[in-house]
Amino acid sequence: MKCPYCGSVCADDALYCPSCKQPLPTEAAKDERAARRAAAREPRTPMQKVGIVLLSIAFVVALCVGVYKLVTWIGNYQLNRLYTRGAYTPTISAVQMEDLRSGHAIVFYGKDGDQIYLPEMKRSLTVSGGVARMEIADSDWFDLNVSDLDYADITMSPQLISETGKKTQLPLLNFKIDVPESPLKVTSPAAPRITVVTGIYPLTVNVVPGSTLFINGEDVTSSVDRSGYLSTNVAVKPIGDNVITLIVRTPKHREHREELVIYREHYDIELELDASVSDVSPARTMAVTGTTEPGAVISVDTDYIPESLTLDMQTGRFSFISKFSAYGNNIIRFRASKEGREDAVISFNVNYRPSLAEISKAAWKMDYEQLLVLFENWRNRAFACKGTVIDVVRSDDKSYMIMDVGDTSRQLVVLENQTTTANISSGRRYLAYAYVDGQFMYNSAYYPKLIALYIDLSN
């Protein structure tokens, strides 16, 4: 036989190779190897074959499950990154609801057709245009009794439901909501402190329907209509500051307390303007009526029709017709005099706002070259401004329209919008009736400024 290690020829009964000295296989070892080769050549039994198949299937299934879990984990990880610090991170911002309540808008981002399910709200939002938006009133997070609370810690657990129906748990949303204050909107007076010359002033407010409202300690809730609106008159005495205290209590809100101050000067002679006298006039003349102390004499300091002045010396009732020389604000000032007493003087503004028929009749055709030079001399002159609005800007809470009134070259004017038309679109042509009011800087250059009282679309 041959040595299995070095290949040398050895005697059949040799125990060691004479060349490499390695032990040679015995007959028993040869028989065992031969048996193993023979067993390997024997066909497998059916049970053995089934076992091999089952083991193979189990291996493939385990491999697929592992791959699926790996892919799912990677997908969830990437999705979580998108919704925590990526492009799909939700945003939360404070808003005011249509009914005056404070709230927050929660905006989710994603693929169109996907849905965001919020278990805490039991609501589903559909992603459209890449966003899904929901507004929630702050009061919805609280119970009726909020007297001992300052804020609420909110946790939301949104779920993403794809168009195929797959659900994915998104990162938790955690934020804090302060207990909201009872809403109150005062529309008249327009400021917390005003000066008046009449004994009665109209007070108009809005609250959330269902609120309780007090004015100077008196419960006036029964006078509030179903929409939460209240209009009433308050007495204003000639004592200087008249303080009006408003208290609102809305369920699930803190109590809101607000003070208004209406100042009415104390006169040495009684003098009061009728509440029916308006601060806006559509005509160049306006009747002024009121009451003074019997025996006092009325004189008018500003322009008026002399023959219109009447005075009843017994009752103190007086009236006169004032005249306005300019569009916009005009001062009316008159006084009551009595021997041995200090004059009582009333001075107030009236906004002369002519009718469309009147201003269109008085309006000049646009002369841009002269307007650039004579804008100061032409103050209060009305013009018909026809052209394309190229921009709309806001400054000091006022809206300004930048209009190109040129036919062949650009000629810009700035129109302060005092019309009832709020939605002015850039790129459209309009016809506006306006009067000159100086200059206005737009894009680092000065242009003529006019006050627009009426505007409409034009061809």
pLDDT in tens, 397-431: 889 999 999 988 999 999 999 998 878 889 999 99
Closest by Cα among 153, 106, 104 to 125:
106
Overall number of domains in the chain: 6
pLDDT higher than threshold 70 for residue 268: yes
pLDDT at residue number 37: 61
Residues 313 and 332 in one domain: yes
User: Between 36 and 268, where is the model more confident?
Assistant: 268
Q: Do residues 314 and 302 make contact, with C-beta atoms less than 8 angstroms apart?
A: no
Residues 362 and 443 in one domain: yes
Q: Do residues 256 and 227 make contact, with C-beta atoms less than 8 angstroms apart?
A: no
Residues 361 and 452 in one domain: yes
Q: 0.85 cut: is pTM over it?
A: no
pLDDT at residue number 68: 55
Pairing of β 344-352 and β 280-281: parallel
User: Between 11 and 376, where is the model more confident?
Assistant: 376
Residues 342 and 431 in one domain: no
Q: Give me the mean pLDDT over the 219-228 stretch.
A: 92
Query: For 318, which DSSP code?
Result: E
pLDDT higher than threshold 70 for residue 78: no
- What is the C-alpha separation between 328 and 352, in angstroms, rounded? 5
Name the residue range of residue 134's domain: 91-178
Collect all residues with Cβ–Cβ distance below 8 Å to 313 and sequence separation of at least 6: 294, 295
Query: Binning pLDDT at 50, 70 and 90, where does residue 198 land?
Result: confident
pLDDT at residue number 81: 59
Residues 393 and 449 in one domain: yes
CATH number, domain at 214?
2.60.40.10
pLDDT at residue number 64: 67
Q: Give me the mean pLDDT over the 113-126 stretch.
A: 88
pLDDT higher than threshold 90 for residue 20: no
Collect all residues with Cβ–Cβ distance below 8 Å to 147 and sequence separation of at least 6: none
Percentage of the chain modeled with pLDDT above 90 = 50
Q: Does some domain include residue 286? A: yes
CATH number, domain at 285?
2.60.40
Residues 14 and 47 in one domain: no
Cross-strand pairs, 331: 349
Q: Does some domain include residue 36? A: no
Least confident of 38-42, 154-158, 245-249, 320-324: 38-42
pLDDT at residue number 11: 75
Query: For 114, which DSSP code?
Result: -
pLDDT at residue number 66: 62
Q: Give me the mean pLDDT over the 193-211 stretch.
A: 89
Query: For 343, which DSSP code?
Result: P
Q: Does some domain include residue 316? A: yes
C-beta contacts of 74-78 below 8 A and 24+ residues apart: 76/168
Q: Does some domain include residue 35? A: no
Residues 365 and 450 in one domain: yes
Closest by Cα among 404, 393, 400 to 430:
404
Q: Do residues 348 and 281 make contact, with C-beta atoms less than 8 angstroms apart?
A: no
- What is the C-alpha separation between 31 and 231, in angstroms, rounded? 116
